[in-house]
Amino acid sequence: MEAVVVLALFGLALGRDTHTYSWHGPGATPPPVPDNLCMTDQTTCSCCLMQRRMWQMQQHFNSSATELQQQMEQTQSILNSYKESRTAFSVALTNWRRCVGPARTEIDVAYQAVFLNMGVAYDPRTGVFTAPHSGVYSVAVTVFSDAGSPGSLLAACARLSRNSVPLAGLREKNHEDQEDTASVVLTVQLRAGDQVSVRLLPGCYLCDDQNHYNTFSGFMLYTTE
């Protein structure tokens, strides 16, 4: 190739027609060059190497795009599963003046003022929250009672239970305060189907009104399924 270039330059320098010189002899016309060199030399020509490289890049791109699509679908599936498993509730005893108790036996407190019931896992008719998924939950209870008049017995006492088994107790009993309150916040692990409720103890009572002094709340921190 370098020799051809040198001969061409040499011909120009002499003012001669370079087309009269070729490897086919003086004055011979070289054979026509095909439009696609790859048709005659598919192993060494640069255009074929470029085409092969472009094909490899296309295959790599298609493979990467397919893998990315699969990852996006997997992420979307996880996100949808997370949205479906979201669970949270927050309720209060009542929206009007009302007292619950005293009773001779333990009873579940039915909180009827519902602020939030995401996942519809809390039943306001029974006061029971049923865990829809196995996981770690945060649960909080606040109890309040009003003795009605100074010197009257104050008995604000209840307990947070899981499947009727005590988790934590709340108790305020004395003759000094006309009203008092107590709170507890727990982080517990629940299995799907576990039932959590606030149970009113015998001889105790809770009083509330539109100010919502008695509350029961919970939400799932993360699932363990």
pLDDT digits (tens, 9 = 90+) for 175-192: 556 667 889 999 999 999
Q: What would the pLDDT profile of 71-86 be if each residue is shown by its tens digit?
A: 887 877 666 666 666 8
Which helix (DSSP H) or strand (DSSP E) does residue 219 occupy?
strand 215-223
Residue with tokens 């363990």: 224
Q: Are residues 94 and 149 in the same domain?
A: yes
Task: Mark whether 151 and 180 lie in a shared domain.
Answer: yes
Question: What range does the domain containing 106 cover?
Answer: 86-223
Q: What is the chain's percent helix, strand, coil content, to nearest 5?
A: 25, 35, 35
Q: Which two structure tokens, joined as six digits, stand for 77? A: 């599936």
Q: Which residues contact 170 (CB under 8 A, 6 or more apart)?
A: 141, 143, 156, 157, 158, 159, 160, 182, 183, 184
Residues 104 and 195 in one domain: yes
Do both 125 and 69 map to the same domain?
no
In a 3-state reduction of DSSP, which class is residue 168? Answer: strand
Judge if 71 and 139 occupy the same domain. Answer: no
CA distance 122 to 109: 12
Residue 149's identity, in one-letter code, is: S
Q: Judging by DSSP bridges, how do beta strands 128-130 and 206-208 pair with one another?
A: unpaired
DSSP 64-129: HHHHHHHHHHHHHHHHHHHHHH--EEEEES-SSSEEE---SS-EE----EEEEEETS-EETTTTEE
CA distance 194 to 128: 10
Same domain, 105 and 208: yes
In this prediction, residue 6 carries a pLDDT of 42
Domain at 214, CATH number:
2.60.120.40
Pure H helices in the chain? 2-14, 46-85
Q: What is the pLDDT along the chain (225 residues), one digit of tens a residue?
A: 544 444 444 444 444 444 444 444 555 555 555 555 555 555 556 667 777 778 888 888 888 888 888 888 787 766 666 666 689 999 999 988 888 888 889 999 999 999 999 999 999 999 999 999 999 999 999 998 876 555 556 677 899 999 999 999 887 766 556 667 889 999 999 999 999 999 999 888 888 889 999 999 999 998 887
**Domain termination site, one of 85, 100, 124:** 85
Last residue of a domain, one of 52, 68, 85: 85
pTM of this prediction? Answer: 0.62
Structure tokens at 93: 């005893």
Domain count, the chain: 3
Please indicate, yes or no, whether residues 98 and 187 belong to a single structural domain of this protein.
Answer: yes
Rounded to whole angstroms, what are the CA distances from 209 to 22, 91, 145, 146, 206? Answer: 109, 13, 11, 11, 11
Q: Are residue 111 and residue 52 in the same domain, yes or no?
A: no
Both tokens assigned to 188: 């517990």
Alpha-carbon span 157 to 143, nearest angstrom: 7
